[in-house]
Each structure stands twice: as C-alpha cells, then as structure tokens.
Amino acid sequence: MDQKIDFEAIDLTGPPPGQEPDRQYYFIARCRLWVREFLEKQGRLPRACVVNYGCQMNARDSEKLAGILKEIGYDLTESEEADFVIYNTCTVRDNANQKVYGRLGYLNGNKKKNPHMKIALCGCMMQEPSAVEKIKRSYGFVDLIFGTHNIFKLAELLDVCLRQDGMIIDLWEDTDQIVEALPVDRKYPFKSGVNIMFGCNNFCSYCIVPYVRGRERSRKPEDILKEIRSLVDQGVVEIMLLGQNVNSYGKNLPEPMTFAQLLTEVEGIRGLKRIRFMTSHPKDLSDQLIQVMQNSKKICRHLHLPLQSGSSRLLKLMNRHYDKEQYIALAQKIRKAIPDIAITTDIIVGFPGETEEDFKDTLDVVEKVQFENAFTFIYSKRTGTPAAAMADQVPPEVAHRRFDRLLSLVQETAKRRNALLVGTKQTVLAEEVNSHENGMLTGRMSNNALVHFNGPADLVGSLCAVRLTESKGFYYIGQYLQQEDEK
Ligand code: SAH
Ligand code: SF4
Ligand code: F3S
C-alpha cells in the first residue's frame, strides 16, 4: 500500500462502497471498532496467526492477509494459540492436504480452551469442492472458508464472522479482478515478492494449479513498477517477480508486453539491487530474455527451469510442449550465454505409465545439465486432472525406489558442480542470523545458493563480499570479507 489510509476517518454510518479497494477499507474500519471493544472488555488486543502452506505465491498472499489483520488492529503472532488463526492452504500434492487435516485437530483443541477463537481456511485447497465437503462433514468447528480469488475480501468476511456463529463459506469459481492497494505485512524488510501475474493457462496434465488459481491474468506494468518503487523506498533491495509462468507475462494485457520488456523496466528502478523471478516454463523462454539477463547488472544469476521429466514421451503426456532434446539444448544455450548462472529444476517421478526407460531419460538429463539444485517429487494423483484418469499408475514402491535413485544422482551432480565455486569471492545478501551457530549469518548468493558465514547481526539486509571456503553440496560455508553496500 503506497499511501497511508486514515481508517478512523472512514464514514461507517452509510452502506459499504461498491468499489474495491474502498469497500475493504470500510470493512477494515468496521473490524477496528470490534477490536476496540475487545480491548475494552479483555484488557488486551486480540491475537492473530497466519500460517502459510505452499509456494511463494501463497507466501505473498499470506503477507496480504497479515497486512489486513494488522490494519484491523490484531496483534500478529506465530503462535496458533491465538484468537484468529488462518491457514492459507496448498493442494499441489496430497501430502499438503494431509498436513492441514492433521493440524486442524490440534487447532480444535485450542478453540475449546479459548471461547473467542475463530478458525479460517483459505487458499488453493479450498477451491476443491471435495476438500470443502470433507471440512463441512468432519471439521464443523471451522468458522470461515474462502478461496484464492477473493483473498482481498478478508476484512469483509471477518466482519461477518466476528458478529455471528456458524461456518461462513465464500468461494468463487474464477475471477478477472485484480484488487490493488491493499495492506501488506512483509516478512523481510529488505526483500519482497511481487506478483506480476495470477493463475495459469498451461494445464500440465498432472497439475491442479490451473483449476484452483484460475485463468492467467497479468498485472499492469505501471502497477508493478509503482509497487516496486514503493518497496525500494521502504528499504527493499531484492525483489522476486512471481507468476506460475512468468515467461508468458503480458500476453493478455490491453497493450501486450513481454516479460523481457518488463524486466528491462524493472532494471531501471534506482536503488533496487537484485531482481529474481519464479517460475520459468521452458516452452516460453525467449532469446530476448536470455539477452536481457546477460546484459543485466541486477537480475540474479539463477534460473528455475522445471524439467518435470526427461522422457519426451512423458513430456508429451504431461502437456509440457517441449521434448528432452529441446530442454537440454535450452539449458546449454543459457549456460553458454551466462556462464555463472545456476539452473535449478523441479522433477516428478512416477507419472502414470513411467517406465524404467523413461526414468533413465530423466537421469540422463540430470547428468547432462548438472543442475545446481533440484526439487524432486513423487507424482501425486490430483482429482480432476487428466493424469488422474490415465492408465498404468506407477506402484508406490516403484516410484519410491526411483525417487531415491534420482535424489542421489541430483546430490552427486549438484555437489560436483557447486564445488567449482569454492575459493571464489561472491556477493551475498545476508538474510538472517543463523539460529544453529553463534556469530554466523545465512544469506544468498546471486545464483540463489545459501551461504553460512561469520558476521555480526547488524549485517542482515546488507550485500556482503564473502569468500566461499567450503561446499556442503547444496550450500556453502564462507568467510566474511566486507560490506558491499551502504545501508
Ligand atoms: N508453475 C510452476 C510450478 C508450480 S507447482 C511450473 O510450471 O514450473 C511446483 C511443482 O510441483 C511443479 O513444478 C511440479 O514439479 C510439482 N507438481 C505439480 N503437480 C504435481 C503432482 N500432481 N504430483 C507431484 N508433483 C507435482
Ligand atoms: Fe502447473 Fe504447469 Fe501451470 Fe506450472 S505451468 S502451475 S506445472 S499447470
Ligand atoms: Fe500450492 Fe497453490 Fe502454490 S496449490 S504450490 S499454494 S499455487
């Protein structure tokens, strides 16, 4: 939010405005009255806890939820023994859902101890009718359910929830709306995610995201640039541009624009030091983007380029629109153009019909590309996706064995590759005090690798020159040399 809103000055005598975000400002102001009453009766502020599951996009949504709750006047806490607990859920794999069901029992215990407590669920899992049915059936103590398309409505829904009992459900199937200018409570003062687009149109055959996040919508470049300028004014030095497929940014804007063009505009923002982005779909990665990265001083030397499978046959069934050879050629082209880049990836094992031969193709790509890091997943069947209905689902024990083999190869190749940087001097953004070891900080290099290095706590948020002394596989130990920026 750029300008400070004076919520006390909002007239609550009339009906709520129809326009957003004014409507939400009105409900924030109404909830603030409830908070004042709570304070008078209880002698303390009500506490709220936002728990995030899932990806960076969900994490950014959670910061928006926290921002609204903070403006309402809640005391934000990490403890789930709060007066309002909201889970922002993920449903990309079944274990994400199971975690939520597991935690709900514990939350109910807290609710029994605290008569004021309200429990809310939102996010991707709530966009699945079967999950909502199960909650209605077996977790009747949940007070509020909403989805991914209407998270901006938290204040309005909370206003109802605080004044009445019973489960309130507000779910939208889709939206073309993007509500700007709502409050945000950021986790880190020096870095931030920035949404550039919402939804996904790719319909990879295993993936639930397009069904729960809706169609692809790009934010207007002027809104994105305004938000980043405002973040920089508040002390942010690193931003991560967020979208399920950033390479298709801008295609549906009234005045179309490419992702590479957007990056060039972002590069021009004074005071911004680092630019990251997530995620790149290989099918849409343009030469223009490689060129912009090559010439950039601010775009980090990291590309997350999900492979999913190395088998051309499976890639076709996955609806990924590239084959094994094209992926390898693309990775090689990128490494040639930007030699210090780290390429990381996501890989799924056990996709329906995966044979030993298909799996060997995946191992082969790992050998050839030598990913600096890879997130490996066992295929999880998502109801409603085309892959769920495919024949030849791979038996779990076969998938687990392949998963272990893949993981050891990824570890081995990454270790080999990451060892090459030992001895070099790198710029590291110090992100936090290392909780395991006294006097140590943890930060990230431009190529996204983690580095643990010695240094005082007040370096957090600064770019530091660090000599890498040891590689531990996926992370490094380093020796602090000097601060590189003026704070
Ligand atoms: N939009 C991103 C990925 C979002 S989901 C992209 O296209 O790259 C993050 C990762 O979860 C995916 O890259 C994929 O590897 C994994 N994933 C998605 N659906 C899955 C499923 N049904 N089973 C296992 N892993 C899955
Ligand atoms: Fe899912 Fe594919 Fe969209 Fe990524 S691009 S979110 S894997 S459908
Ligand atoms: Fe999960 Fe939704 Fe992200 S399903 S991975 S939180 S888009």
pLDDT recorded at residue 438: 87
Instruction: Show the low-confidence residues of the chain (pLDDT under 50).
Output: none
pLDDT digits (tens, 9 = 90+) for 359-400: 999 999 999 999 999 999 999 999 999 999 999 999 999 999
* Size of the chain in residues: 487
Residue 58 CA: nearest ligand 3 atom is: 6
Judged by its nearest atom, the ligand closest to the C-alpha of residue 306 is 1
Question: What's the CA gap between 277 and 263, in Å, rounded?
Answer: 10
Q: Rounded to whole angstroms, what are the CA distances from 91 to 87, 101, 136?
A: 12, 12, 17
Judged by its nearest atom, the ligand closest to the C-alpha of residue 383 is 1
**Pocket around ligand 1 at a 6 A CB cut-off:** 92-93, 206-207, 209, 244-245, 279, 281, 306, 308, 346, 348, 377, 379-380, 382
Q: Is 204 in the pocket of ligand 2 (CB under 6 A)?
A: yes
3-state SS, residue 319: coil
How far apart are the CA of 188 and the centre of ligand 3, in A?
Answer: 21
Question: What is the β-pairing status of strands 463-471 and 475-483?
Answer: antiparallel
pLDDT recorded at residue 176: 87
pLDDT recorded at residue 76: 98
CA 307 to chain centroid, in Å, comes to 19
* Cβ-based neighbours of 380, under 8 Å, separated by 6 or more: 92, 93, 94, 95
Residue 280 CA: nearest ligand 1 atom is: 8
Instruction: Kindly report the protein residue whose alpha carbon is nearest to atom 5 of ligand 2.
Output: 202
Q: Phi, psi (5° rounding) for residue 107?
A: -60, -40
Pocket test for ligand 2, best of 58, 206, 207 (most atoms within 8 A of CB): 207
How far apart are the CA of 125 and the centre of ligand 3, in A?
Answer: 8
Which residues sit opposite 52 in a β-bridge?
Answer: 88
E strand intervals along 142-244: 144-146, 168-170, 191-195, 197-198, 217-218, 238-242
CA 370 to chain centroid, in Å, comes to 25
How far apart are the CA of 55 and the centre of ligand 3, in A?
Answer: 5
Whole-structure pTM value: 0.95
Q: Phi, psi (5° rounding) for residue 66?
A: -65, -35
Instruction: Kindly report the protein residue whose alpha carbon is nearest to atom 10 of ligand 1.
Output: 346
Burial class (CB in 10 A: 0-12, 13-18, 19+), 357: exposed
Which residues sit opposite 445 in a β-bridge?
Answer: 428
Of 346, 348, 344, 297, give the one whose Cα is nearest residue 449: 344
Question: What's the CA gap between 467 and 431, in Å, rounded?
Answer: 17
How far apart are the CA of 412 and the centre of ligand 1, in A?
Answer: 23
pLDDT recorded at residue 186: 94
Of 483, 426, 480, 481, give the one whose Cα is nearest residue 449: 426
How far apart are the CA of 210 and the centre of ligand 2, in A?
Answer: 7
Q: Rounded to whole angstroms, what are the CA distances from 232 to 138, 189, 239, 266?
A: 46, 10, 9, 11
pLDDT digits (tens, 9 = 90+) for 222-237: 999 999 999 999 999 9
3-state SS, residue 39: helix
How far apart are the CA of 458 and the centre of ligand 3, in A?
Answer: 34
Q: Is 200 in the pocket of ligand 2 (CB under 6 A)?
A: yes
Number of Cβ within 10 Å of residue 140's Cβ equals: 10
Question: What's the CA gap between 429 and 455, in Å, rounded?
Answer: 12
pLDDT digits (tens, 9 = 90+) for 79-102: 999 999 999 999 999 999 999 999
Q: Is 208 in the pocket of ligand 2 (CB under 6 A)?
A: no
* Cβ-based neighbours of 266, under 8 Å, separated by 6 or more: 224, 225, 228, 239, 241, 272, 275, 298
SS3 content of the chain, % helix, strand, coil (to 5): 40, 20, 40
Question: What's the CA gap between 202 and 267, in Å, rounded?
Answer: 28
* Cβ-based neighbours of 312, under 8 Å, separated by 6 or more: 323, 324, 325, 361
pLDDT recorded at residue 1: 54
Judged by its nearest atom, the ligand closest to the C-alpha of residue 320 is 2
Q: Is 207 in the pocket of ligand 2 (CB under 6 A)?
A: yes
Q: Is 202 in the pocket of ligand 2 (CB under 6 A)?
A: yes
| Position 299, amino acid | I
* Cβ-based neighbours of 192, under 8 Å, separated by 6 or more: 186, 231, 236, 238, 239, 240
pLDDT recorded at residue 486: 59
Question: What's the CA gap between 425 and 273, in Å, rounded?
Answer: 18
Q: What would the 3-class secondary structure string for 231-277 be?
A: HHHCCCCEEEEECCCHHHCCCCCCCCCCHHHHHHHHHCCCCCCEEEE
* Cβ-based neighbours of 191, under 8 Å, separated by 6 or more: 236, 237, 238, 239, 240, 274, 429, 431
Kind and range of the H or E run holding 445: strand 440-445
